[in-house]
Amino acid sequence: MRNFKLALGAVIVAAGFASCKDEAKMTAEKHVDHYVVFVDSVNSLDAQERAANWAAIQAEYEMRTAEAEAALATLENEAKAQERITESKSKYEGVKTQAESEAKAKMEAEATPAPAGTGSLADAFFGPGVVVGNDMKFAWVNKDNILSVYQKFVDTFNANKDNYSRQDFDKIKAYYEALDTRKNTVEKEGLSGEDNRKIAALKLGFAPKFKWERMTAKSDENAKAKE
């Protein structure tokens, strides 16, 4: 009877070891899976979202990497897990290089103002990075800054009107119309009467000047095309 109890105890202990081993293996596999999924999720982010959260992304990546590499010692099929980790590392390094390049380019663009006639028209009229892509809603314009936005717009046009191409004038027209559309909303949000009058005066001077310059630019380009 005593021998039976000892044998039974050995079986229970062995089962306990096996259970712990299986649990450790499952945990290790999860760590590798989480690492792979995390890298794939970073790859799926758009450039702007990646740039805005890069410090947090890098910190979490380092933690996930440490967990995945520690898991290799527990896994029986270490070669397969190592292959998955290596592949994901390669993906991440590609994204990291791209993100660092984009961040560097952004810093250089912000540090060096574009000379007249070059760079983005949107940046010139509204400031670097204010207008993103084709967003023409101008939600950032409000009752407190709309007068200064119009003033910068008119001043920029007056300073560079001789350098714009026909295509530039078409873009400027689209920006101006989008700003006017936003003004209709801002007026309902508490735009002061004084600011409204100043904006009206700016528009009154800008409209005929823009029309003339745009018409002249088209005539000049047509003449050059005939030559």
Q: Averaged in consecutive runs of 10 residues, what is the pLDDT profile of the chain (227 residues)? A: 41 41 77 86 80 82 85 77 85 80 62 46 90 85 94 94 90 94 92 94 93 80 50
* Contacts (Cβ under 8 Å, ≥6 apart) of 178: 136, 137, 138
The pLDDT value recorded for residue 3 is: 45
Residue pair 105/59 in contact by the 8 Å Cβ criterion: no
The pLDDT value recorded for residue 68 is: 81
The pLDDT value recorded for residue 157 is: 95
The pLDDT value recorded for residue 153 is: 95
Domain assignments of the chain as residue spans, ordered by start: 2-111, 121-226
Cα 223–chain centre separation: 42
Residue 82 Cα distances to 69, 70, 76, 153, angstroms: 8, 11, 11, 57
Helix (H, G, I), strand (E, B) or coil at 67: helix
DSSP 77: S
Residue pair 68/32 in contact by the 8 Å Cβ criterion: yes
pTM of this prediction exceeds 0.75: no
